[in-house]
Amino acid sequence: MDPGTASTSWGLQLGVVLVFLLASGCQGLNHEGWLLLALKSQMIDTYHHLDNWNPKDPSPCAWSGVNCSSSSSSSRLAVVSLNVSNMNLSGTVGPGIGGLTELTSLDLSFNEFSGAIPPEIGNCSKLLLLNLNNNNFDGTIPPELGKLAMLTGCNLCNNRLHGPIPDEIGNMSSLQDLVGYSNNLSGSIPHSVGKLKHLKTIRLGQNLISGSIPAEIGECLNLTVFGLAQNKLEGPLPKEIGRLGLMTDLILWGNQLSGPLPPEIGNCTNLRTIALYDNDLVGPIPATIGNITYLEKLYLYRNSINGTIPSEIGKLSFAEEVDFSENFLTGGIPKELGNIPGLYLLYLFQNQLTGFIPSELCGLRNLSKLDLSINSLTGPIPAGFQYMTKLIQLQLFNNMLSGDIPPRFGIYSRLWVVDFSNNNITGQIPRDLCRQSNLILLNLGSNKLTGNIPHRITSCKSLVQLRLSDNSLTGSFSTDLCNLVNLTTIELARNKFNGPIPPQIGNCNALQRLNLANNYFTSELPREIGKLSKLVVFNISSNRLGGSIPLEIFNCTTLQRLDLSQNSFEGSLPNEVGRLPQLELLSFADNRLSGQMPPILGKLSHLTALQIGGNQFSGGIPKELGLLSSLQIAMNLSYNNLSGNIPSELGSLALLESLFLNNNNLTALLETEDSVVDNLASVDLSHPPLPRHPTRSVALWARS
């Protein structure tokens, strides 16, 4: 605060005190009472919590929030505690607070105070506790707080403070707890922090603190909690961290720390939690990590850590959660992980791990969440996994696993997420995966599975996502699926399913994604599809469906992607297509549609790709297609019977990358062509009718 402003404010408060004195005479309320009334004069007490602060009282000791005790220097009662926490107070805190020199505790927390923290608090030299948290204080931390040599607890969290932590903090020689998270503090951690020999807790997360962690932190030998998550710290974790033998929690995630983990971290044998995720750490996990035998939670994910996982990890006998995901770890999964009896969560996904999944993991009877996905693991899924009774989440996708899925999966465990997609798994889908009626996600896509979908899967009431694309599954579309009220996703594309799509599909009220592409479905598309009011993606391409396109499908107004290509649909493209305002991809390519292209297509303002080539459309290209300003990927009208000029309005499609008008009967002036082809990466405007090929696919040219 500017000295002139502070002087004026203090003068105003003295004026308030004098007014009270004149109004009530020289007898009555003592000096501290008048100081408190002066403070109250700058507060807004909406709920009248401080109504009993009466200037006619001889002493403030009976007032709400005020506590008195005998002064150490005299027998008179003095205000030693002011606690107005959680009283919905607002306004500012005046400099008169510094006159309460006998205060040992000041608690203004959980209010709406704003303005700067008065530096005069530094005059309250006997303060032991200072709680200003959960207010709207702004400005900087006053360096004068450094004068509070007796202070043991300082809580400034959840305010709007900014600027650096003052170097004078090192003079608070009795400080044990420093809490200032969720502010806008910046600058570096002062080196003077090493002078705080009694410090037990540092919690300064969610700020803008930068620079490196000073080596002097190793002088705080009593530190138990070191928390600076979500800041801008950089540089290495200093080896001096290893001197903090009493530390239980190391919370530095969400920074820009770099360099390797120092082996000295293994000297912090009382650690319970290490949270260093979301940094830029490199190098190997030190084998000394195994010395931290009481460690419960070890989070190193989302760094650039490399090397192998040390076998010493198996010495962490009290560990409950281990997450090394999203790094560059190599080698095998150490079998010693099986020696951690209480392990509940093990995440090793998105690394470069190789080899078999060790069977020793099957002995982890408390393991509930296991994710080994996005690695290069080979071999079978261990048979023992099917007997792990606590297992609820098992994700092994994007590996090179082979063999069959153990057949008794689901009998003994309440599985809710099973994802084995993108492997080389063979055999059939185990019938009991949903026996416990808990399964939410089943993703077995991109494997080599055969056979039918078991009845206990298609009747699994808890199921939300069923994703089985890219296998060799057979059978028909089960009507049981249509009774699953929670089902949002059905993906059966690129299998060998056949038969009609049942009209009961209209009962899947929650369905958002339905992908049945590249199968052998036959007959007509049921009109009940129009009941799927939440449908966003519908892909029935590359099947054997025929008949006309049911008008009811255009009742699905939330559709963003509609692909009916490579079937045998006949008749016209109805005007009702204009009911789909959210549509981004529309493909009716390679069918037997005829008639004129409806101009209402020009109203599909979100469309990025229009694919209707390979049909029997006739007449001209509607000029309204030039209104499709979002069209970017492609417009393919090739292999039809279109005639007339190419509309110059197509030249307005500034984002369009590929345009295919070939194999029609179109004509155009050269200047019209020029306006159309500008900015196109791929274009075919061939005017002379070329020999029509009975192809069932029109290549979408790659973007350049």
Say yes or no: domain 565-684 is CATH 3.30.565.10: no
- The helix-helix angle for 31-40 and 3-24 (nearest 10°) equals 120
CA separation for the pair 32, 62 (Å, rounded): 13
Q: How many CB atoms are closer than 10 A to CB 25? A: 7
List pLDDT tens digits, range 470-524. 999 999 999 999 999 999 999 999 999 999 999 999 999 999 999 999 999 999 9
For the segment 631-644, the average pLDDT, to the nearest whole number, is: 96
CA separation for the pair 323, 325 (Å, rounded): 6
Q: What's the pLDDT at 25?
A: 41
Q: Is the pLDDT of residue 693 over 90?
A: no
pTM: 0.91
List pLDDT tens digits, range 580-627. 999 999 999 999 999 999 999 999 999 999 999 999 999 999 999 999
**What whole-number percentage of the chain has pLDDT above 70?**
90
CA separation for the pair 189, 193 (Å, rounded): 8
For residue 88, report the phi and psi dihedrals to the nearest 5 degrees: 55, 35
From 584, 601, 596, 589, select the one nearest 655 (Cα to Cα).
584
List pLDDT tens digits, range 76-97. 899 999 999 999 999 999 999 9
**What is the overall mean pLDDT for the chain?**
92
Q: What's the pLDDT at 667?
A: 85
User: Sign of the CA dihedral 352, 350, 453, 528?
Assistant: negative
Sequence spans of domains, the chain: 6-88+99-166, 187-355, 565-684
User: Sign of the CA dihedral 518, 477, 429, 474?
Assistant: negative
**Scanning the structure block, which residue is given the tokens 């493909």?**
587
Contact between residue 297 and residue 318 where contact means Cβ atoms under 8 Å apart: no
As beta bridge partners, residue 388 has: none
Same CATH topology for 187-355 and 565-684: the answer is yes
Q: How many CB atoms are closer than 10 A to CB 193? A: 22
For the segment 266-273, the average pLDDT, to the nearest whole number, is: 98
**What whole-number percentage of the chain has pLDDT above 90?**
89
Contact between residue 664 and residue 638 where contact means Cβ atoms under 8 Å apart: yes
What are 540's two structure tokens? 């029935």
CA separation for the pair 263, 240 (Å, rounded): 11
Contact between residue 429 and residue 406 where contact means Cβ atoms under 8 Å apart: no
Q: What's the pLDDT at 42?
A: 97
Q: What's the pLDDT at 3?
A: 42
pLDDT top residue among 679 and 215: 215
For the segment 172-197, the average pLDDT, to the nearest whole number, is: 98
CA separation for the pair 212, 255 (Å, rounded): 10
List pLDDT tens digits, range 7-23. 444 444 444 444 444 44
**CA atoms within 13 Å, Cβ hemisphere of 385:** 24
| Reported CATH class of domain 6-88+99-166 | alpha beta
3-state secondary structure of 15: helix
For residue 264, report the phi and psi dihedrals to the nearest 5 degrees: -65, -15
CA separation for the pair 659, 625 (Å, rounded): 12
Contact between residue 614 and residue 637 where contact means Cβ atoms under 8 Å apart: no
Contact between residue 201 and residue 177 where contact means Cβ atoms under 8 Å apart: yes
Element housing 20 (H / E): helix 3-24
What lies within 8 Å, CB to CB, of 559 at 6+ separation is: 535, 536, 537, 538, 580, 582, 583
For the segment 38-44, the average pLDDT, to the nearest whole number, is: 97
From 597, 651, 596, select the one nearest 628 (Cα to Cα).
651
Q: What's the pLDDT at 21?
A: 43
Q: What's the pLDDT at 71?
A: 67
Q: What's the pLDDT at 6?
A: 42
CA separation for the pair 622, 651 (Å, rounded): 13
Q: What's the pLDDT at 74?
A: 66
Q: Is the pLDDT of residue 292 over 60?
A: yes
What lies within 8 Å, CB to CB, of 642 at 6+ separation is: 597, 617, 618, 619, 620, 621, 661, 664, 665, 666
434 — pLDDT class (breaks 50, 70, 90):
very high
CA separation for the pair 303, 485 (Å, rounded): 40
For the segment 95-124, the average pLDDT, to the nearest whole number, is: 98
The three-point CA angle 37-40-46 to 5° equals: 140
From 56, 64, 61, select the one nearest 83 (Cα to Cα).
64
**Scanning the structure block, which residue is given the tokens 């994910």?**
301
668 — pLDDT class (breaks 50, 70, 90):
low
**Scanning the structure block, which residue is given the tokens 């170097």?**
167
Q: What's the pLDDT at 76?
A: 83
Among the listed ranges 305-319, 665-679, 686-700, which one has the minimum average pLDDT value? 686-700
For residue 228, report the phi and psi dihedrals to the nearest 5 degrees: -140, 40
From 403, 404, 325, 307, select the one nearest 369 (Cα to Cα).
325
**Scanning the structure block, which residue is given the tokens 């200093």?**
238
From 384, 391, 392, select the one nearest 363 (Cα to Cα).
384
Q: Output the CA torsion 613→616→621→624 (10° steps).
A: -80
Q: What's the pLDDT at 674?
A: 58
Per-residue exposure over 594-605, b if at least 16 CB sit within 10 Å of its own CB, e if not: eeebbbbbbbbe
List pLDDT tens digits, range 139-183. 999 999 999 999 999 999 999 999 999 999 999 999 999 999 999
Q: What's the pLDDT at 673?
A: 53
CA–chain centroid gap for 395, Å, is: 19
What lies within 8 Å, CB to CB, of 605 at 6+ separation is: 581, 627, 628, 629, 630
Could you tell me whether strands 77-83 and 66-70 are parallel, antiparallel, or unpaired per DSSP bridges? antiparallel
Q: Please name the CATH architecture into which domain 187-355 falls.
A: Alpha-Beta Horseshoe (3.80)
What are 340's two structure tokens? 């951690």
Going through 348-483 in order, the beta strands assigned E by DSSP cover 352-355, 369-371, 376-379, 393-395, 400-404, 417-419, 424-427, 441-443, 448-451, 465-467, 472-476
List pLDDT tens digits, range 252-263. 999 999 999 999
From 534, 542, 567, select the one nearest 550 (Cα to Cα).
567
Q: How far apart are the first and last CA of the chain?
A: 59
Residue type, 43: M
Q: Is the pLDDT of residue 24 over 60?
A: no
Q: Output the CA torsion 450→454→459→464 (10° steps).
A: -40
What lies within 8 Å, CB to CB, of 191 at 6+ separation is: 167, 170, 214, 216
Element housing 641 (H / E): strand 641-645
Distances (CA, A) of 532 to 71, 529, 554: 77, 6, 10
User: Sign of the CA dihedral 151, 157, 160, 162?
Assistant: positive
